Amino acid sequence: MKDLEPFGSRRRRYHLIVNAVVAAEVTANGRQHLRVVVDGQDYWFAHGVPGIVVDSDPIRVCALPLEVRFATLIPPGERGGGVVEDTRLVVLGSRGSIAVSGSEFVRYGGNTTSFALVVGDETVAFIDAGTGLVAYRSLGLEPASSVHIFLTHYHWDHIQGLSMFGAVWADDGEVVIHGPGGPEQVVTAAIAPPWFPVALAGAGAVRYETVSRPVDIRGLVITPFRVEHPQGAFGYRVDGPSASLAIVTDHEAGTERDASIVESIRGVDFLIHDAQYRPDEIANRRGWGHSTWVDAVVAADAAGAKRLLLTSLDPGSTDRDVDGILRATQERFPEAGIARPGLEVRL
């Protein structure tokens, strides 16, 4: 088994080779439990393994051995006492401004901002819909039949993934897009010819909600607050059953708005904060709407956040550059990391 470096997650998630399926069951709440053999030992899994279908008898298996990434393992003895649903945030993309690719951007990823909120085996919401949104599939995340998307603002790097998100074009299910004042007008104008071959207006089962107050999605309370950014933007605080986090992406620190933001994010376990520019380059970029890692540390300290994850990485920052930013940040705030794709925060 290869450990995938779980981060803040109670259950450890693994990269496995499944050799045989022994049994399967579907519980009352529709979740699949699978008993499989891995390296000669029996294990139960909290939810379905991609490639194994349990809605048939006998169980259909595409091929064995089956390679499974990001499997959630229930240790022997823990099953039977009721399985606690894993609630977590998964980073899908954290690049700012524009997507990048290439050998210099492998470890911290090139997709623009998007985060998934997962309850049990369903992705119930996303925060921002940058190009990272479409990465949910490669991370083994399945959107719920009713899925919510909370947009911080409408700059391209935060909405471009919407056009290629299959659920917005599907006839069944529901996608609720939450955004600052008048999301329907802005989003349908952006996803329409000649910028995209098909018009989103009237397509699928998309509903729009203007962001104004806290929303409870399957036990996750998502609270918006204003941040400082050209044309205006929101951050979101997410309070889960066992932990809390705040996302402050695309925010320029150093204005009078900082005090109200600190109040909104006070006491969070995890702060995910904009750190697009280096301290030595911010002077020439005032008014562009972004912060530095120093600003992120100041906000984390002021709010009493336990851990800090840097996001909105500059498209010009290579993996090596980000390594340097992380080292400098950890000297001031040891519990700091980078919001890289696949990283999970348990809520």
Interacting residues toward Zn ion by CB under 5 A: 155, 250
Among 155, 164, 20, 8, smallest CA distance to 95 is for 155
Question: Smaller CB distance to Zn ion: residue 158 or 307?
Answer: 158
Task: Please say whether the dihedral angle defined by the alpha carbons of residues 332, 333, 336 and 338, taken in this order, is positive or negative.
Answer: negative
Nearest to Zn ion by Cβ — which residue? 155
Query: How far does the chain reach from its first CA to its final CA, in angstroms?
Result: 25
Quote the least distance from Cβ 329 to Zn ion, whole Å.
22
Quote the least distance from Cβ 57 to Zn ion, whole Å.
51
Question: Smaller CB distance to Zn ion: residue 70 or 126?
Answer: 126
Quote the least distance from Cβ 276 to Zn ion, whole Å.
10
DSSP one-letter code for 253: -
Q: Helix 319-332 crosses helix 293-303 at what angle (to 10 degrees)? A: 40
- Is residue 101 within 8 A of residue 110, CB to CB? The reply is yes
Question: Smaller CB distance to Zn ion: residue 9 or 249?
Answer: 249
Question: Smaller CB distance to Zn ion: residue 24 or 227?
Answer: 227
Residue 347 neighbours by CB under 8 Å, 6+ apart: 87, 88, 89, 117, 220, 238, 239, 240, 241, 242, 243, 244, 245
3-state secondary structure of 174: strand
- Is residue 84 within 8 A of residue 72, CB to CB? The reply is no
Quote the least distance from Cβ 159 to Zn ion, whole Å.
10
Question: Smaller CB distance to Zn ion: residue 11 or 155?
Answer: 155
Token pair in block for residue 142: 């399945």
Task: Report d(CA 101, CA 318) in Å as an integer.
Answer: 10
Question: Smaller CB distance to Zn ion: residue 108 or 234?
Answer: 234
Place of tokens 């954290």: 94
Among 207, 192, 92, smallest CA distance to 149 is for 207
Quote the least distance from Cβ 260 to Zn ion, whole Å.
19
Quote the least distance from Cβ 247 to Zn ion, whole Å.
13
Question: Smaller CB distance to Zn ion: residue 274 or 344?
Answer: 274
Question: Smaller CB distance to Zn ion: residue 86 or 252?
Answer: 252
Count Cβ neighbours within 10 Å for each residue of 277-288 and write b for 16 or more, e otherwise. bbeeebeeeeee
- Is residue 8 within 8 A of residue 83, CB to CB? The reply is no
Among 110, 106, 124, 139, smallest CA distance to 4 is for 139
Question: Smaller CB distance to Zn ion: residue 33 or 155?
Answer: 155
Quote the least distance from Cβ 154 to Zn ion, whole Å.
8
Quote the least distance from Cβ 240 to Zn ion, whole Å.
26
Quote the least distance from Cβ 229 to Zn ion, whole Å.
6
